[in-house]
Amino acid sequence: MHGHAARLDAALKVAAKHPGARLAFLGDLIDDSPRRRLARKAKDAPGSPDDSRAIMQTVRHLAEMGRAEVLLGNHEVMALATVLDDHRPLMDVWWRVGGREAAASYAWQGKGEAGKLADDLRWLRERGRLWLTIGPPGAGVLLSHATRPSLSRSLSGQDCADNLTPSAAQDDVVWFPLGLGSGYGSRLRSLPLLGDGLIASLHGHMETPDLWTLLDTQDMPAYQLDLHPAQRRLALMHVGDQGELTAQVVRVD
């Protein structure tokens, strides 16, 4: 969603066509909205609020109603470290890539009590996952923000925020740019293999010009769904009751 309410609105309109469907967000709910990019490119005054707070509140409500699951992206990891752990090196990075605008949506300026922002982030630390498996037995789909977890790690069940690697700024599952510089359909030796009963994986993080498919060395697909904001489009994947995958790209106004 990247702090852009129009993306969330577009996603919810598609979801409304699938009554009873549950939603899974691939991370980067907050920060780095097109508004920030345009403002900084134009050298306008940065720091104006984006839609991060509204998005967090909507997604949190959906999750608490049992209608959604949330993965942690690198932007959430930076926010958690900054606000809850006072991690100054990551704060410097977060501030540059949209954290200032996300914080402004909560009326927080980077110091002092963070109020509702801290409350939402504590909820996200407890509820957010590093990866998630959805779909029916034998035709499951693995979801993670950046790359897949290693097979041994995925089997460990240690998929919570507390299970980030000791250096959260280097955890592959939220940071490693899957397929960076690789063309559509490339086979990647760096892509961890899927476990038994899984047929594909879905990812955000690496902005691509269109819905991007990459393959592991066993030709099992990894789909990149994070379209570049300049495209003004949103990619979604519907996972059916039998594990069938249907991609949809919709316009974002």
What's the chain's average pLDDT? 90
What pLDDT sits at residue 178?
Answer: 85
Side-chain-side CA neighbours of 151 within 13 Å: the count stands at 10
Residue 184's pLDDT band, with cuts at 50, 70 and 90, is confident
What pLDDT sits at residue 165?
Answer: 81
What pLDDT sits at residue 168?
Answer: 66
> Quick one: average pLDDT of 220-231?
88
CATH number at residue 127: 3.60.21.10
For residue 68, CA distances in Å to 62, 87, 107, 196, 216 come to 5, 29, 27, 25, 28
Distance CA 109, CA 104 (A): 6
What pLDDT sits at residue 230?
Answer: 75
pLDDT digits (tens, 9 = 90+) for 91-131: 999 998 889 999 999 999 888 899 999 999 999 999 999 99
Q: Which domain holds residue 13?
A: 5-251
What pLDDT sits at residue 169?
Answer: 73
What pLDDT sits at residue 221?
Answer: 97
> Burial, 230: exposed, middle or buried (Cβ in 10 Å; 0-12, 13-18, 19+)?
exposed
Let me know: does 23 contact 15? Beta carbons within 8 Å.
yes
Distance CA 252, CA 250 (A): 7
Let me know: does 164 contact 125? Beta carbons within 8 Å.
no
Q: Domain tally for the chain?
A: 1
> Quick one: average pLDDT of 2-13?
93
What pLDDT sits at residue 45?
Answer: 55
User: Which is more confidently placed, 234 or 169?
Assistant: 234
What pLDDT sits at residue 41?
Answer: 56
pLDDT digits (tens, 9 = 90+) for 200-218: 999 999 888 888 999 999 9
pLDDT digits (tens, 9 = 90+) for 53-99: 999 999 999 999 999 999 999 999 999 999 999 888 889 999 988 89
